Amino acid sequence: MKTLDLVIFDLDGTLCPSDERLNRPYPEAAVRVLERRMGWSRQKAQQVFSDKHRELREQVGGKITNTRVLLQFFEEVSFQEYEQEVNRLLPVEQVLRPLALVVDAVSLVCGAYPTFLFTTNNEGATDRILRAIGLWSFFPPDRRFTVSHAGRLPLPRQEQLEHVKPSVKGFVRILETTGAGARQTLMVGDSETSDIRPAASLGMLTFKVSRVEDVGLLPAWLGLQGLSPAPA
């Protein structure tokens, strides 16, 4: 079994499958908030938002979340306003179910190591998603760092955003909170840009998943086969 201080998991696309019904609400909520906050037409809000999305995507050299784009370029929009709009539109409970393969794997990993959840999703959505996929008890509120947590840091807006992936300060904060060493920490995520590259830049080990079923390979990779899962 590998010796590690900590295993950090991404949420969307890692522990829960990517689904169009769950992806669509993020850009849609961004456009609605921009219409309201800036007094723009829907068409203008869509145009400006997609231009800014492309701009940031080119800047970071990879896929970027709608959440990061909106909060970075539109200081008029608060973290909470976007969170509320997203959560009104998000059909979590209609779409997501627990996947036994993932629950069993996470249970084994959580039984063997301290774990943490690091996501660009907001606090409310994270809570609903964790319940729907049967992983809530493995990532209780004090083991999560969401975009909402970044938004509550007593820092100027741009520094708060440095705690949102793909920036590295959120990773550093989790290491500090848990007392884990970067080289003894594993990051598990689906995004090269948001999870793998920043974690590797800090010296962390990384485990990239292309689809949630890959999480099922993690216990064997860690040398955990034959251990009993932690109680849910």
Q: Are 15 and 104 in contact (CB under 8 A)?
A: no
- Partner residues linked to 187 by β-bridges: 8, 206
CB of 209 to Mg ion, least distance (A): 9
- Residue 65 vs 107, nearer CB to Mg ion: 65
Q: Which positions ≥6 away from 142 have C-beta within 8 Å?
A: none
CA dist., res. 161 & res. 155, Å (int): 9
- Is residue 85 near Mg ion by the rule CB under 5 A? no
The one-letter code for the residue type at 182 is: A
Question: Tokens 């890959």 identify what position?
Answer: 214
Residue nearest to Mg ion (CB): 13
13 near Mg ion, rule: CB under 5 A? yes
45 or 115: CB nearest Mg ion:
115
Q: Is 83 in the site for Mg ion (CB under 5 A)?
A: no
CB of 157 to Mg ion, least distance (A): 23
DSSP string, 39-70: ---HHHHHHHHHHHHHHHHHHHTS---HHHHH
Q: What angle is formed at CA 31 by the lines to CA 141 and CA 87, rounded to 5 degrees?
A: 25
Omega before 166 within 30 of 0, i.e. cis:
yes
Residue 17 or residue 45: which is nearer to Mg ion going by CB?
Answer: 17
Please give the residues from 132 up to 191 whose contact with Mg ion meets the rule CB under 5 A.
Answer: 190-191
Q: How far is the CB of 195 from Mg ion (least distance, A)?
A: 6
Which residues, numbered 44-73, are part of the site for Mg ion (CB under 5 A)?
none
Nearer to Mg ion, 85 or 190 (CB): 190
Under rule CB under 5 A, how many of the chain's residues touch Mg ion?
5
User: Min. distance of Cβ 14 from Mg ion in angstroms?
Assistant: 5
Which among 11, 6, 214 has a CA at the least distance from the CA of 110?
Answer: 6
Strand partners, 206: 187
- Segment contacting Mg ion by CB under 5 A, of 3-11, 37-45, 53-61, 213-221: 3-11
Instruction: Return phi, psi of residue 35, to 5°.
Output: -55, -50
| 214 lies in the binding site for Mg ion (CB under 5 A) | no
Provide the minimum distance between the beta carbon of 11 and Mg ion in the complex, in angstroms, as a whole number. 7
Among 7, 8, 9, 12, binds Mg ion (CB under 5 A): 12
Q: Name residues contacting Mg ion, limited to 190-209 (CB under 5 A).
A: 190-191
DSSP state letter for 118: E
- Shortest spacing between CB 135 and Mg ion, in angstroms: 14
Is residue 161 a contact partner of residue 150, using CB atoms and an 8 Å limit? yes
Residue 15 or 109: the one with the smaller Cβ distance to Mg ion is 15
Binding region for Mg ion (CB under 5 A): 10, 12-13, 190-191
